[in-house]
Amino acid sequence: MYKFLILLFLSATVFGQEVLKPTYSFSISGKVKKEAVMTMDSLSKIPLKEIGNIKVTNHLGEFKHQDEHLKGVLLKDVLRNITFNISSPKLMSQLYFICSGADGYKVVYSWNELYNTPVGSQVFILMEKNGIKAAQLPENIQMTSMMDFKTGRRYLHNLSKIEVKQAD
């Protein structure tokens, strides 16, 4: 009986681990005039920026790992050609962006955070990490906010969609 319980526990652990599902594109939908799909090819046409290194920390600020030689495109540059479906520029302050990974993990940015603070100049979709191009990484379309104190909270793997919403 004891051996059976150990086998049951081990099989639950193995089958309980989620396999990363690489994403090669993501959609932008919601409060937009026209939905868009960004691919690796379309991202490669956006100006690439040298980002440097990031120490990834958990919610307590404890060091988890370091990623080096990061290169990426600004989320603001990705959204540059998106027209928001709002009736007045005053309503931009009510917009927020839900960025979702293929595994369901979500991070949120407000319009003001991206366009009206220094944070927006440090939110990147990663195109290269540790000298490896994004398309070759198992968690290929990733994004991060370099200005966050607890960097792991908004370090998103396998970006699959960005939903633009409006606060009530």
Residue 93: CB atoms within 10 A of its CB come to: 14
Q: pTM to 2 decimals?
A: 0.86
- Give, in degrees to the nearest 5, the angle at Cα 128 between 65 and 140: 80
Q: Is the dihedral of CA 104, 100, 134, 62 positive or negative?
A: negative
Pseudo-torsion of CA 118, 122, 124, 130, nearest 10°? 180
Q: pLDDT digits over 48-102, tens only? A: 999 999 999 999 999 999 999 999 999 999 999 999 999 999 999 999 999 999 9
The mean pLDDT of 5-19, rounded to a whole number, is 45
Q: pLDDT digits over 22-58, tens only? A: 889 999 999 999 999 999 999 999 999 999 999 999 9
Place of tokens 């409006």: 166
Spatial contact of 67 and 156, defined as CB atoms under 8 Å apart: no
Query: pLDDT value at position 18?
Result: 55
Higher-scoring residue by pLDDT: 69, 14: 69
The mean pLDDT of 135-149, rounded to a whole number, is 92
For the chain, the 3-state helix, strand and coil shares in percent, each to the nearest 5, are 25, 40, 35
